Amino acid sequence: MAFTLKNWSLEKVGVVGSGQIGPDIALFFTKVLAPFGVPVVVVDVSQDALNAGKAKLEKKVAKGVETGAFKADEAQRMTGNITWTTDYSAFKGCRLVVEAATENPGIKQKIVAALEAVVEPDCIIASNSSHLEPEVIFEKAKAPEHGLVVHYFFPAERNIIVEVVPGKATHDVVTDWVMDFYEQIGKAPILVGSRYGYAIDPVFEGLFLAAALQVESGAGSVKQVDEIARKALGLGIGPFTAMNLTGGNPITAVGLDHYTAKIHKWFRTPASLKAKVEKKEPWETAGKGEKIEYTEEQFRKIADAMTGAYFGLVGEIVDSGISNVGDMNMAVSTALVVKPPFEWMNEIGTGNALKLVEQYAASNPGFPVPKCIKERAGKPFEIPMVFRRDVNGVAVIKIRRPAVLNALNLEVFRQLRAHCEAVEGDAGIKGAVITGFGTKAFVSGADIDMLAALKTAAEGEANSRQFHVTLDYIEDMRKPVICAYNGLALGGGNELAMACHARIARKGLKLLAGQPEVNLGIIPGAGGTQRLPRWIGFDRALQMMRTAKPIDGKTGLELGLIVEEVEGDPVPRAVELVNEYAGGKRELKRIAREALTGLPGKAPDLDIGHLSKRIDQILCDTVINGCKLPLRDGLKLESKAFGECVETEDMHIGMETFLKEGARAKAAFKHK
C-alpha cells in the first residue's frame, strides 16, 4: 500500500533521531500513514535513545487510548507500524525522510550524506532544524534540490504548524509537494524564506529575551514576569515555563547569539540565561495552583514592554520578506498559543500598537521599529484568510482558518466576495473552485462569537442579509463555481456550499454536511432554509434542519447534494469539472429559483427531543412559507425569521451552553 499525492507515492517514511522530537514526529507519521499501510522507520546511532523514544511514543499512544483519542486496534496498528533500528539501510525504499538530530551543522551534513548513500536519488530529505539555513544543512549534499527544512513545533504530534523552508537549490516541485503533503495529513504548513531561525523561533526566543530583560532590569521576578507575560499576551504558558517544558535553554542561548549578527543587535544571550545553561538549571516558575502577586503598576509596565516587543518582533519578520502578515498572524498564534498579532494590533488601533513598539525601542537599543507597522499606523492591517491560486485557467479559492476549522465571519465573507468579483471580471479565468484548508473541514460553520454577540432582531436580520449578499453573488456568477468539500460542512459552511453551482466531496466522509443551528437556538440564516429543500427535496431537508442530524458523503450523493465523490483531495477533480462545465462538455444544473409546489400547509409531527419548540416553529414556518415564494423572496423571509430568533430566550440559552460547555452539551431550552 502507499500514500499517493500528485503522482508521488510514499511506501515508507523515515525519521532520523530518537531524542527530544524524533519520536513525536514518528508518532504523527504513523497516526496518519498507518491507515494507508505506510510503515515508519526510526533510526538512531544509540540503542538507548531508540529504547527511550519507543517507550515515550508507546506511553503517548496508551494515553490516547485511555482518553478515547485512539481505539485499541488503532493504537496497536500505530505502534506496530514503526521500526526502531540503528541500521541506516532500513531507509531503503523511503521517498521521504525527516532528519531530527542535534542542532549541529556538521552532524546534520553527515546524516544527509549517510541518507543519500542509501535512499533513491529522488527521495525528499527534510531537516527538522530549528535555526540552521537549508543552504548550510545541504551544503555538501549530492542532490540539494531534494532537500529543505520542515520545522515542527512542540508537541510535534499535536501542534499543527510546520514551517517549510526551501533552500536556494530546492526545486519548486519539491516545495509545492511538501506543502500539499503536510496540509493533506493534517498540518498547517507555512512557506518561509531561508534565514537563520526562520519566522517563528525569533518571536518565541525574542519574547523569552524580552521577559529575561524585564527580570534583569528589576521590573519583576521570574515568576511575576512569567505570569504577567502570560496574561498580557494571551500565552498558554509563560516564556520561562515554556523554556522549562521544551528544554530550550541551551538551544535558545545559541540561537540568540546568532541572531545578533543575522537579524539585529538587540538580540543577544542574556546573562541570566547563560547562568542557567552553565548550571543546567531550570527557571524557578510558579508551582501548580501557586498565586503570583504583583502591583497594577508592575503589570502595566511589564505588559506594555512585552506587547511592544511582541509587535516589533512579528513586524520585523514581515519586513524581512521571509513571511507575510497572513501567515504570521495565523502561525505565530497557533504555534506559540498567543494572541494573533496583527488582529490584536487592529483591535487596539495600529497607531497605539506603533506607540508601544516605539516605547520599547526607545528603552532597548538596537530594537527596530518595523516599517510595516509605521506604514499602517491609523489604518488596520489587511489580514488574508481567503486565498486564490489559479490552476489550468480555474481560480481555486481556499478559506484558511485552521484554528477554528475555517469558520465563517463577516470578514471571510468580504474577502470571499472580493475574490469572486475578481474571478468574474478576469477574462483569462473560466470559473472557480471554493474549498477549505486541510482535511477536517470545508467550513465548520459561522463564527459562534459573532452570532452570540447579536442582541436584537434588527441585528440578526442584518447579519443574515450580509451573508446573503455574498452567497447570492456566488449563485449569480456567470462562470461555473464548484464547491470541493475537503471535509465536513456545517451550518454556514454548508450554506456556502449550496450557493455554489455544484458540489463534489472527498470520498468516505462520515460527516459531509449538516444544518445544526437548532442546537444553538437559531435557524439557518445564510440560505439553508431555502436552498437545502431545492437541492435535496423538501421533506428530507426539513427533517435535517429540525433534527440537526448531518449526512455522510454516500447519502449526500444519493440525495443529489453532491455530484461526485473523489478519492483524496477533491480540488483537482473540481478544477476539471469547472473546465468541463465552462467548455460545454457537461451540463451545469443550477438551483431552481422558482417557488416549490406541492408543499404542506404545516410541518409533520416530529419528535425533536430536547430542542426548542419555539425555534422549531420559526424554522418550519420559514421553510414552508419561504419555499412557496421565489428563491430570493424566500431568502428575505429567512433573514427576518433569523432576526426573530435573536430575541428569543432559547437563542441565548443555546449560545451560552455552547460557549461554556461545548458543542456536545444539550441546552436546557425553555421553548420561548
Q: Residues with catalytic annotation?
A: 495, 517
Tell me 408's DSSP state: B
The CA–CA distances, whole Å, from 112 to 136, 147, 477, 545 equal: 11, 9, 51, 56
Look-up of cell digits 516599517? 371
Which residue blocks in 321-428 are alpha helix, DSSP H?
325-336, 341-348, 350-362, 371-376, 410-424
- Residues 212, 218, 220, 221, Cα dihedral to 10°: 70
| Pairwise CA distance, residues 24 & 384, whole Å | 31
Cα within 13 Å of Cα(534), Cβ side = 28
Q: Name the grid cell of 658.
A: 455552547
- Pick the closest to residue 190 from 153, 230, 242 (CA basis): 153
> Which residue type sits at 131?
H
Length of the chain measured in residues? 672
Q: Give the Cβ contact number of residue 109 at 10 Å.
A: 17
273 phi/psi in degrees, rounded to 5: -70, -40
Whole-angstrom Cα distance, residue 39 to residue 17?
Answer: 16
Distance from C-alpha of 644 to C-alpha of 637, rounded to nearest angstrom = 11
| Letter string b/e over residues 465-504, b meaning 16 or more CB atoms within 10 A of that residue's CB | bbbbebbebbbebebbbbbbbbbbbbbbbbbbbbbbbbbb
**Interatomic CA distance for residues 13 and 53, integer angstroms:** 17
Instruction: State the helix-helix crossing angle for 47-67 and 72-80, rounded to 10 degrees.
Output: 160
**Interatomic CA distance for residues 658 and 667, integer angstroms:** 8
Query: What is the number of other CB atoms lying within 10 angstroms of the CB of residue 22?
Result: 26
What is the three-class DSSP state of 4? strand
- What does 280-349 look like in DSSP terms, one character per residue? T----PPPTTPPPP--HHHHHHHHHHHHHHHHHHHHHHHHHTSS-HHHHHHHHHHHHT---HHHHHHHH-
Whole-number Cα distances in Å, 454 to 199, 398, 641, 659: 37, 27, 14, 14
